[in-house]
């Protein structure tokens, strides 16, 4: 029988390894940025085109490589970071993976220029699908420049699994944030399709956070500092009042490397106990320094999930450090800017005492005395004859019946109908509604009771309204008398640019989108000025969580986000007119039975159900 086991060729093995190392363009960005940092660079430029599908280029001013090192760096298991297995348990560098560049070169066109500071000439290396096309000596600047073009050019199936350009760019931005936040002493530049997104000069940790997420973060940060024999904790947490419904700015760094740790995240949330609203999450930027031997970073291919030797101690230290910082923040005196100065005592009256009011009484007043009849003046008004006044109201009952108010119809956008129940079933109700526990709108119908969830029902009404406006581009807009200035980070401005067309269709209008301070000049008619900031923040947060590739999916998510933010909430009081309008609008929808989040909007309690309850 012939042998069936055989060794795979190197180029096939490299492509298989690339499946672990390179999941998407952001994976390439992470590897190249970490290699540049380990090379001692003080200036790093990241250049991206088409979400990294066409080009990813990282340029640094590090130590560079010799001709031999440049060639060897693309071989499997080639690294300068470790020399024996024991070194894996005491790593202080980042890009130590031996197959990173080899895997990238196996699935892309790689162009590398590199020169050591003491060399006159550098090396220019071209590789396509693990094959070295050319290698020559050239004049180039100090450091290394690696360009990765046409990712997955030789694996069409992998390329087809990539998401849209916007989604891939967002993942690249996430990786860029993780690297830039933990290396404030390095200057970073980030270019996308020729335009500069980030220009981050050398700074400290607090300034770097502000540079990345905008100047609004400056006043939200509370410093955290604690040093023990096990761990040194430093960084910042956001003030409780700036918590968000989405998991936004949450960063853990262990020994200069971004990590994910649900266990430590729970410690942070526990430290905020009693300070956060329901379903809100705190923001934090926490840096942990531990002994490299006490942390295992090799339990996951992406190196983001790690294992600590003594997690329980870390949990306790982290929780107490954050509680201590929040305690210091809370007891510090603050200026009350919301105090109404109109209630202050005027300066001129501060020294004056209070004057008691004087009360005067008419001692001659007699309530039982007959009132004196006034003298009639010439041309004075004569009291009309009011005899027979009863006849004016003799037919009042007939008039009331003719003009009964019970037939008044409250206008709404929808018509009362249902796909599951006959029209006469719903329309033969009492015509009245009432609110139950400020959460449900209840009405009687022919077969029993109709109970509507006011929040979900209004979400469905608004969802179909906004989806129609986005599709037909017929949104009603109201101009603001004074434009509202709002501060956004570069990433948030990019998201607003992506959503600009859809937002314009529902009524939003922006100016100065290229600057940190964006002006909102118009909003949809139903959005109050006080809620503009909340609505836009939630839209951006929902967009970060991801949406489909086509414009239809983007319009769907935008309509869902707007409806969720603007719908009537449980706990709000609705008057009779609003209740009836909600009922009519709901059954005027194409799909009245489900909310945009696919939850039931109403239920019918039949007479039989009531009879069973009372038996």
Q: How far apart are CA 247 and CA 243, in angstroms?
A: 9
**Per-residue pLDDT band at 101 (split at 50, 70, 90):** confident
Concatenating the DSSP letter of every residue in 552-576 gives HHHHHHHHHHHHHHHSPPTT----H
Q: What is the pLDDT of residues 181-209, one digit of tens each?
A: 999 999 999 999 988 889 999 999 999 99
Structure tokens at 576: 């009779």
For 10-202, CATH number?
Answer: 3.30.565.10
Q: What is the pLDDT of residues 478-520, one digit of tens each?
A: 888 888 888 888 878 888 888 888 888 888 888 887 777 888 8
Q: How far is CA 129 from CA 109, 111, 152, 202, 320, in A?
A: 7, 12, 9, 37, 52
Q: What is the pLDDT of residues 509-558, one digit of tens each?
A: 888 877 778 888 888 887 888 788 888 887 887 777 654 444 456 778 78
Structure tokens at 489: 């980070």
Residues in the chain: 615
- What mean pLDDT is predicted for residues 375-401? 51
Q: How far is CA 223 from CA 94, 210, 261, 328, 335, in A?
A: 26, 14, 21, 10, 20
Q: How far apart are CA 107 and CA 29, in angstroms?
A: 15
For 206-328, CATH number?
Answer: 3.30.230.10
Strands laid side by side in the 55-60 sheet: 131-138, 122-128, 109-115, 143-149, 55-60, 43-49, 187-192, 195-200
Q: How far apart are CA 116 and CA 349, in angstroms?
A: 78
The total of other beta-carbon atoms located within 10 Å of residue 428's CB is 13
Range name among 320-334, 420-434, 513-527 with the lowest pLDDT average:
420-434
- What mean pLDDT is predicted for residues 91-117? 80
**Per-residue pLDDT band at 402 (split at 50, 70, 90):** very low
What's the pLDDT at 421? 43
List % helix, strand, coil for the chain (3-state, nearest 5).
Answer: 40, 20, 40
Hey, CA dihedral for 276, 281, 287, 288, is it positive or negative? positive
Residue 349 burial by CB count (10 A; 0-12/13-18/19+): exposed, middle or buried? Answer: exposed
Concatenating the DSSP letter of every residue in 365-385 gives --TTSPPPPPPPPTTPPPPPP
The total of other beta-carbon atoms located within 10 Å of residue 439's CB is 15
Only one residue has tokens 């201590």, namely 324
Structural domain boundaries in the chain: 10-202, 206-328, 415-615
Q: What is the pLDDT of residues 253-300, one digit of tens each?
A: 998 889 988 899 999 999 998 888 878 889 999 999 998 888 877 666
Mean pLDDT of the residues in the chain: 80
In the DSSP assignment, the letter for residue 405 is G
Tell me phi and psi for residue 113, to 5 degrees: -120, 130
Question: For residue 454, what are the contacts with CB-CB under 8 A and spacing of at least 6?
Answer: 435, 439, 440, 441, 568, 570, 572, 574, 582
Question: For the stretch 477-495, what's the b/e string if a residue is b when 16 or more beta carbons lie within 10 angstroms of its beta carbon?
Answer: beeeeebeebbbbbbbbbb
Strands 307-308 and 295-296, how do they pair?
antiparallel
Contact 583, 429 (CB under 8 A): no
- What mean pLDDT is predicted for residues 72-89? 68
Phi-psi region of 152 (alpha: psi -120 to 50; beta: other; left: phi over 0): left
Q: What is the pLDDT of residues 155-178, one digit of tens each?
A: 888 888 888 888 888 889 999 999
Q: What is the pLDDT of residues 577-603, one digit of tens each?
A: 889 899 989 988 999 999 988 899 999
Beta bridge partners of 143: 115
pLDDT exceeds cutoff 70 at 353: no
- pTM attached to this predicted model: 0.70
Q: How far apart are CA 419 and CA 586, in angstroms?
A: 12
Q: How far is CA 55 from CA 51, 140, 147, 192, 270, in A?
A: 8, 20, 7, 10, 43
Question: For residue 269, what are the contacts with CB-CB under 8 A and spacing of at least 6?
Answer: 276, 281, 282
What's the pLDDT at 369? 73
Q: How far apart are CA 288 and CA 227, in angstroms?
A: 10
pLDDT exceeds cutoff 70 at 410: no
What's the pLDDT at 373? 58
Annotation: CATH topology of 415-615? Ribosomal Protein S8; Chain: A, domain 1 (3.30.1370)
């Amino acid at each position: 029988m012939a042998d069936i086991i055989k060794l795979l060729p190197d180029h096939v093995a490299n492509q298989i390894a690339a499946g672990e190392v390179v999941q998407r363009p952001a994976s390439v960005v992470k590897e190249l940025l970490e290699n540049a940092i380990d090379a001692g660079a003080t200036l790093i430029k990241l250049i991206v085109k088409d979400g990294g599908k066409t080009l990813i280029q990282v340029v640094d001013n590090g130590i560079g490589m010799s001709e031999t090192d440049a060639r060897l760096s693309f071989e499997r298991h080639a690294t300068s970071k470790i020399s024996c297995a024991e070194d894996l348990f005491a790593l202080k560098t980042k890009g130590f993976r031996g197959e990173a560049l080899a895997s990238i070169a196996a699935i892309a066109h790689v162009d590398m220029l590199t020169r050591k500071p003491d060399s006159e000439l550098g090396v220019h290396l071209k590789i396509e699908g693990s094959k070295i096309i050319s290698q020559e000596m050239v004049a180039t600047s100090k450091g290394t420049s690696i360009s990765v073009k046409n990712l997955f050019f030789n694996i069409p199936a992998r390329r087809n699994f990539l998401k849209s350009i916007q989604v891939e760019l967002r993942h690249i931005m996430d990786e860029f944030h993780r690297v830039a936040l933990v290396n404030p002493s390095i200057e970073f530049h980030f270019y996308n399709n020729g335009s500069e997104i980030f220009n981050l000069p050398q700074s400290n940790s607090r300034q770097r956070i502000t540079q990345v997420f905008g100047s609004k973060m400056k006043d939200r940060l509370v410093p955290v500092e604690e040093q023990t024999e096990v761990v040194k904790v430093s960084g910042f947490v956001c003030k409780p009042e700036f918590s968000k419904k989405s998991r936004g700015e949450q960063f853990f760094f262990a020994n200069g490397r971004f990590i994910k740790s649900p266990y430590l995240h729970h410690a942070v949330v526990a430290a905020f106990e009693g300070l956060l609203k329901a379903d809100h999450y705190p923001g934090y930027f926490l840096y942990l320094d531990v002994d490299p031997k006490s942390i295992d970073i090799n339990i996951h291919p992406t190196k983001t999930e790690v294992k600590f030797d003594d997690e329980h101690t870390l949990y306790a230290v982290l929780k107490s450090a954050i509680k201590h910082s929040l305690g210091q923040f809370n007891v510090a005196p603050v200026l009350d800017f919301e105090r109404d100065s109109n209630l202050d005592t005027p300066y001129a009256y501060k020294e004056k005492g209070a004057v008691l009011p004087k009360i005067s009484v008419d001692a001659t007043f007699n309530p039982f005395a007959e009132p004196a009849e006034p003298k009639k003046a010439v041309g004075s008004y004569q009291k009309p004859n009011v005899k027979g006044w009863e006849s004016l109201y003799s037919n009042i009952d007939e008039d009331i019946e003719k003009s009964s108010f019970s037939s008044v119809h409250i206008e709404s956008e929808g018509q009362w109908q249902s796909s599951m129940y006959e029209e006469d079933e719903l329309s033969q109700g009492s015509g009245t509604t009432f609110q139950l526990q400020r959460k449900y709108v209840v009405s009687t119908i022919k077969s029993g009771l109709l109970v509507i969830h006011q929040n979900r029902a209004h979400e469905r009404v608004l969802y179909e309204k906004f989806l129609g406006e986005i599709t037909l581009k017929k949104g009603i807009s109201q101009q603001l008398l004074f434009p509202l200035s709002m501060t956004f980070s570069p990433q948030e401005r990019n998201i607003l640019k992506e959503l600009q067309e859809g937002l314009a269709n529902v009524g939003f209008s922006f100016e100065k989108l290229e600057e940190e301070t964006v002006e909102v000049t118009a909003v949809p008619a139903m959005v109050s000025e006080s809620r503009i900031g909340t609505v836009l923040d939630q839209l951006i947060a929902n967009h970060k969580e991801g949406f489909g590739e086509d414009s239809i999916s983007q319009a769907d998510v935008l309509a869902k986000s707007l409806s969720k933010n603007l719908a009537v909430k449980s706990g709000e009081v609705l008057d009779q007119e609003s209740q009836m309008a909600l009922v009519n609008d709901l059954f005027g929808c194409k799909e009245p039975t489900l909310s945009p989040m696919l939850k039931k909007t109403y239920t019918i309690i039949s007479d039989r159900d009531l009879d069973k309850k009372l038996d």
